[in-house]
A = this chain, B = another copy of it.
Amino acid sequence: MGTALKVLKLLDSFSLQQPELGLSQIARMNQINKATALRYLTNLADYGMVEQDPQSKLYSIGTAPLRLANLREAAKPRLTAARIVMKAQVLKVHETMHMSLLKSDQLQTTLVEETQAHSVRISIGTSEILPLHATASGIVSLAFGPRNLLQHVLDGSLPTYSEHTLTNPDRLMDLVDETLHKGWCESVSGYETGVHGFAAPIFGEEQTAIGAIACVIPQPRVTSDLRSAVLDALSIASKEITSVYGGQFPANYRLNQLQTS
């Protein structure tokens, strides 16, 4: 492994829980010599990747990442990058996918990538607001999103959209729990009759989902082979779009293919 890569990996020492670290601490975490750690950090600081508080001597993330992030956003906006990821997966599973993002309490459809493989396909409009309790994307958002969101939905009314819409708070909680364990969610005709929805979370800051990536399929086409392919696609898209948004997966998150229930 090159020296430069080892230097860059020091950046992974910093986290939301420990945004500031001392020299010896960093050396211990990465199992490198203190002198080496100092040289690494000096290199990072020279470029602005980290900065050091003159008083406390503690290191933290610097301003260079902000500059580079601005540059990236200008050159390759998040939405564009996310769309590219989705296109690739749609070409693999031949089913329509959409991405929705949480705007305060609402789940807003932001990107839709329709498959060209079938004449019968689901059409969703951009900017559509999805009900949190009645869609796979919504359930995923409740399970992995901000803590207060679930309570807020349970406190409100749970409108009925189809005969299969979950309107019982207890059963909704069960589904959220199951989703937390599986890492993904399947909604069977919960929003529109005859439509299966599969969704996986998109994470922002560690631990919290900022939205969901989903695949919607007309019921007759759903087979176990297709389900398996869709989950693979969602797993990849979830990872890559999370990365495109600068997010991080919680340490314990995994998308489990096999249904454990």
Q: Which residues of A contact B (CB under 8 A)?
A: 2-5, 7-9, 11, 14-16, 19-20, 39-40, 42-44, 46-49, 60-76, 78, 81, 204-205, 243-248
Contacts and interface: CB of A to CB of B under 8 A. Distances in A.
B247 A47 contact: no
Contact of A68 (B7, B47, B61): B61
Contact of A63 (B15, B70, B71, B72): B72
Given A63-B81, A67-B246, 13 more contacts: A3-B3, A4-B40, A5-B46, A8-B46, A8-B64, A20-B75, A49-B68, A61-B75, A62-B72, A63-B72, A66-B72, A66-B73, A66-B244
A-B interface, 4 closest residue pairs, ranked by CB to CB distance from nearest: A66-B246, A19-B75, A65-B68, A69-B69
B75 A60 contact: yes
Contacts of A47: 5, 8-9, 11
- Decide if the interface of chain A is mainly helix, strand, loop or mixed: helix
A204 B2 contact: no
Contact of A70 (B3, B46, B205): B205
Contacts of A63: 72, 81, 243-244, 246
A67 B3 contact: no
Contact of A205 (B15, B74, B78, B245): B74
Contacts of A43: 2, 4-5, 8
Contacts of A74: 16, 19, 205
Given A15-B71, A61-B72, A205-B70, A243 B40 contact: no
